[in-house]
Structure 1
């Protein structure tokens, strides 16, 4: 992919020597200890767990003024969902097509982080989170890789106006799918494979005020998943498809010592063709959160967050689903109401400590891979977590 680009602007020997001076290497390591009163969250068992670990290494290189190469490898261990095997979070070439004091445009090729919401593009770096965990009713960790990046191309541009900066991005490519996606959308790991059904399409429109205090945006994605059943399985689903539309409305205001953030997400879903044991279904999930952070000291930040999410916006208490399941699932598996408080301490530029407490009503945000029996989910439960993060 890069060879034709570099051929257009070949490097001189002197330029080739100076290319490596632009090389930047950064990395981080994060370890958390989690405790839940009930249910499983980033853990292979109930109770206290050290199963949440992240180690990342990223690099960037600018071989030409108009070309940036960047990528990151992450090893993530998170309960039953991720086993610590290193994987590529992103690996891209960023080609500048236009650069003036008032306007900028470019093209990205490769595995590109999806510009969804306020936090998705930086969700892979713990230092950029508002808390240990992103608001789960919008940024689902149970399908993290599907949400995080896409293999394809993105056009982006921004322009300065009298009120602030207006930016637009358009992106297309293949979704990144793993076993967690199949568990989340099909409820189990059935014999067969879940693959992209055509291309995913993403778009986002953002506004930043002059002093960057106010940020407003709308972003969304349209994608589809296709299940190819195993021919040799005794029992599996039919060759069905899952259509996903995901929309996020975002607003954030930042003052000198505090920040207010709110986002609303809606996700129309449609399952069809999976056979009699998985009837065709069309629902719309919904979620929102309101969040405030306050910095009483440059090294200390306090967090307060409230969020609600619903598997079906027409059945917010989950009772209709529980009745239809004939007791196999609880009503609380279909919604989540979460109150979170947290504290962050930036010890120095390399080290950070965090502590967070969450009270949950409902289990919608939980991964079915970690909690495979929805009939055993506990409605009211608590989560406490402490995390240490290092970066260089």
Structure 2
């Protein structure tokens, strides 16, 4: 705990020299950073660490920079250290790093190309999900933005074409990309239910279809459709009980948001068809279509004080909302409630000053579909109904 506090303190201490550095570059170099520490307590189940005993294992440290070479060419990137229970150990990783070339840009239109490691433009929050100040709560809606499989949704290595039209009656934005998804051990745990001997890797190119967005000029209202299609292959090792096979995932998200002076309403709906092919008789699943949604409202009591409430539901198989059929496929080893989640959330955000934010959050869970199997490998220890209390403090410069 003391080491994390020291790291956050060092990040804050860097603020004056970094601010001075980009001022010397005539505004072309911008450097920003953030640090966040969260404490999580749950009545049961492990959530971002050993939360039944109170966990301090959710820590985020990020440093990003951008350099405007000329009006048409921008370089940008971010390094992130993220500790999240058993899912991520805090090893620094490249969150994104890209070259952004914009040959067309005027008052009515913009078009360009990005090359490198690019954030997936999925939904309202995926592109900014790693910055605590841009999230609607301590935790994103887990029915849509699963932290247990975060890296698969987060970014890809490839290229993206994008374009915008700015009109008096609204703005239209389109993005289309291709590349390879970032696969880690968490993806294997979720898609197989365990860590089989072998290597799961992305086949390429994978297409990010969308996103397509419409927004009123002041973004009072916006609506968008986004999608990510991923193909993966599994090279089974000698100790693997399943044969070499492949997995296809399509993640489609419909997003709507309305912003007023003091409140914001947001809602998203997702369908995620998944197919497992050629894994042999010892793997029970062949295809599922996950379905999820949430409804969220935020009200600003004061410019620096906001309350938020959210209800969300997620189902591993939209035709099996009770989870009984999926549980039967495992021979009853996995309980039915591990295939769905229903979560009520109530949160408070207080911006103490422009650089410091405090958040408090309570969640009531029915089901364990949002949990990481890697953190909860024993299905017999799972509890269906459980509570989460969390508090975080975040800094930025």
- Name the TM-score class by shorter chain: over 0.9
**Match of residue 41 from structure 1:** 47
CA distance in 1: counterparts of 2:239 and 2:152, whole angstroms: 29
1:28 to 34, 38, 49: 34
Say whether the 8 Å CA contact 1:35–1:384 is kept in structure 2. Answer: yes
- Higher mean alpha-carbon deviation, 118-127 vs 317-326, is at 317-326
CA contact (8 A) 2:198 2:240 kept: no
1:32-80 per-residue CA deviation (whole Å, 9 max, x = no partner) reads: 1000000111104633110000000001101122110000000000000
Partner of 1:9: none
CA distance in 2, matches of 1:36, 1:280: 31
Q: Which residue of 2 aligns with 1:167?
A: 173
What residue number does 1:176 align with?
A: 182
Instruction: Work out the CA distance in 2 between the residues paired with 1:336 and 1:21.
Output: 47
Distance in 2, Cα, partners of 1:319 & 1:145: 29
- Provide the rounded CA distance (Å) in 2 between the counterparts of 1:215 and 1:349: 26
Q: How far, CA to CA, are the matches of 1:129 and 1:30 in structure 2?
A: 12
Consecutive unaligned residues of structure 1, counting only runs of 5 or more, are 1-17
| CA deviations over 1:323-377 (Å, ceiling 9, x no partner) | 3333311110000000000000000011000000000000011111011122321
In structure 2, the residue matched to 1:267 is 272
Shift of 1:162: 3.5
- Equivalent residue number for residue 61 of structure 1: 67
For structure 2, list consecutive stretches of 5 or more residues without a partner in the other structure.
1-23
**Superposed displacement of residue 234, structure 1:** 2.9
| CA shift for structure 1 position 279 | 4.1
Match of 1:244 in 2: 249
Query: What TM-score results when the alignment is normalised by the length of structure 1?
Result: 0.93
**Counterpart secondary structure, 1:317:** coil
Equivalent position of 2:138 in the other structure: 132
Question: In structure 2, what is the Cα distance between the partners aligned to 1:105 and 1:225?
Answer: 31
Structure 1 CA distance for aligned equivalents of residues 386 and 190 of structure 2: 21
Match of 1:123 in 2: 129
Does the Cα contact within 8 Å between 2:284 and 2:329 map onto a contact in 1?
Answer: no
SS class of match (1:46)? helix
- Structure 1 CA distance for aligned equivalents of residues 118 and 161 of structure 2: 11
Mapped contact 1:260–1:292 kept (Cα < 8 A): yes
Contact 1:36 1:48 in 2 (8 A): yes
Asked whether 1:297 is paired with 2:302, we answer: yes
* Cα RMSD, aligned residues only: 1.4
Partner of 1:212: 219
Q: Which residue of 2 aligns with 1:347?
A: 352
Does 1:361 pair with 2:363? no
Contact kept? 1:273, 1:280, Cα under 8 Å: no
- Whether 1:99 and 2:105 are equivalent positions in the alignment is yes
* CA gap 1:44/1:35 in 2 versus in 1, 3 angstroms: closer
Distance 1:338 1:280 in 2: 26
Cα offset for 1:199? 1.5
Q: Distance in 1 between matches of 2:204 and 2:375?
A: 29
Q: CA deviation at 1:20?
A: 6.8
Aligned to 1:288: 293
Contact 1:35 1:48 in 2 (8 A): yes
- Does residue 1:79 correspond to 2:85, yes or no? yes
SS in 2 for 1:147: helix
Contact preservation (8 Å) 2:66, 2:75: yes
How far, CA to CA, are the matches of 2:213 and 2:111 in structure 1? Answer: 14
Question: Could you tell me whether the CA contact under 8 Å between 1:218 and 1:248 is conserved in 2?
Answer: yes
User: Per-residue deviation at 1:23?
Assistant: 1.1
Is the aligned partner of 1:255 residue 2:260? yes
Deviation at 1:280, TM superposition (A): 5.2
Give the Cα separation in 2 of the matches to 1:144 and 1:280.
22
Which whole-Å CA distance do the structure 2 matches of 1:177 and 1:134 have between them?
21
Aligned length: 374
Q: Could you state the TM-score of these two structures normalised by the residue count of structure 2? A: 0.92
Structure 2 SS opposite 1:370:
coil
Moved over 4 A (4+): 18-21
